[in-house]
Structure 1
């Protein structure tokens, strides 16, 4: 998912990395009960301006489809940016080599590899003129509760 500013708004050419960070953290604070975790990175291109690539993790026992949560995140982003912001859902299309918009079971090696590939895109070096600006959630402590996993 991408978060950015519309080109026809004052925020597009005049936003700074600090204000965008504050807005993404506000989004995360308002949506913390929806997400099991997240990872984001800020980038800049002349065409898109400052923008954020975002991957959110959902609890597969509570959510089977990411679309509704993604739309809610986008609507909240628009509200936080006072209408200047827009979002793009990176849905499975020909231009994306992998799909991560579904429940990924820990034992599904192919799906886990697809997730790793998608996350590696966030780690690319280009488009990071302001240095690497990112955020991520903390992993919860490993629990010994429940049945042990067998891969």
Structure 2
């Protein structure tokens, strides 16, 4: 594992905010100038041409390059004139950013539709399923050590364990996951949904804890997790008629709808600020299990 000297995710998230602030909000000139002087140098010294960046990040790169020319990043000071030129140049990329945002919203809508169908098929097939929702992230004190390469490596190991269905994933029947980048620190995180055979597994809080500890092991203790399956949190959701985790019975319509709503939280087209701003080539940011498999009992044979 390679360790970054800067918080890669936060730096990129801050640049995304700076760019969106200029393009979509009233411009506060001094804030832009301060932002450029704070972000330009560390980003340009850490840029990796082997990675893919969002349009907001690429527009930052293109706009700054157009102004500073061949100057070394360490020699660049964003004064009034350079900042003014940057704003003018950056605004030319608004159309490109809008196109990418709309494409992302469309893809999220497609993911949402697919996940809705998958979740309902799973619930309809089993008399009861144990729904476990857990957020996987990184500890605040180690966030700066994690690169997108590390995150991808950790997720690949996690998905391999999920596929093997051993230890805390035993009796797992379905799953879905979504990768995001955002929040106050711009942190990389994963929303994970697990659906266990309700006749084999009972204790959702314990399972969420086990999965969280497995994540910590995968990340060599840099990982952290949020377990919402404690009794108090579940009582609060149940009181509001929105409890969609724990044991879900197929013949209870409210439980079913709540469980589907819980699953669909993974795909929200309005969470534009949570999309990844940097990723590896061919890196997937969303996925779910397969409903029609040869091993799933009670389904017609899959035609060759």
> If the TM-score is normalised by the length of the shorter chain, which range does it land in?
0.7 to 0.9
How many Å separate the matches in 2 of 1:83 and 1:134? 24
SS of structure 1 residue aligned to 2:178: strand
Report the counterpart of residue 114 of structure 1 in structure 2: 258
Aligned pairs for 1:66-77 (under 5 A) are: 66-77=204-215
- 1:29 is displaced (CA, Å) by 4.2
Task: Compute the displacement of 1:80 (Å).
Answer: 0.7
* CA 4–19 in structure 1, closer or farther in 2 if over 3 Å, else same: same
Structure 2 unaligned spans of 5+: 1-133
Please report the RMSD computed on the Cα atoms of aligned residues, expressed in angstroms.
2.7
In the alignment, what sits opposite 2:276?
Answer: 129
8 Å CA contact 2:137–2:189 kept in 1: the answer is yes
Report what 1:33 is aligned to.
170
CA displacement, residues 77-106 of structure 1 (integer Å, 9 cap, x when unaligned): 111100000111123354896223321111
User: What is the deviation of 1:140?
Assistant: 4.4
Instruction: Say if 1:108 and 1:99 are closer, same or farther in 2 by CA, change over 3 A.
Output: same
Shift of 1:14: 3.3
Note the residue ranges of structure 1 that are not aligned, 5 or more in a row.
Answer: 146-151
Is 1:143 equivalent to 2:289 in the alignment? no
1:83 maps to 2:226: no
1:13 touches 1:49 (CA, 8 Å); kept in 2?
no
Q: For the pair shown, which has the larger CA radius of gyration, 1 or 2?
A: 2
Relative to the length of structure 2, the TM-score reads 0.42
**How far does the alpha carbon of each residue in 1:22-47 deviate from its partner, in whole angstroms, 9 at most, with x for none?**
24324424644242211111111143
Asked if the contact 1:27/1:76 (under 8 Å) is kept, the reply is no
**Aligned partners of 1:135 and 1:90: how far apart in 2?**
22
Aligned with 1:7 (options 140, 143, 146): 140
Runs of 4+ in 1 over 6 A off after TM superposition: none
Task: Verify the 8 A CA contact 2:244 2:261 in the aligned structure 1.
Answer: no
- More relative contact order, 1 or 2 (CA 8 Å, 6+ apart): 1
Higher helix share: 2
Counterpart of 1:149 in structure 2 is none
Return the alpha-carbon distance in structure 2 between the equivalents of residues 110 and 14 of structure 1. Answer: 40
Deviations 1:117-148 (A, max 9, x none): 11221111211134971121112446169xxx
Matched residues in 2 for 1:63 and 1:13: separation? 36
Q: Are the structure 2 counterparts of residues 35 and 144 from structure 1 closer, same or farther at C-alpha, using a change threshold of 3 Å?
A: closer
Distance 1:15 1:34 in 2: 32
Relative to the length of structure 1, the TM-score reads: 0.79
Superposed CA deviations along residues 49-96 of structure 1, whole A, max 9, x for unmatched, are 010111111111012221121111111111110000011112335489
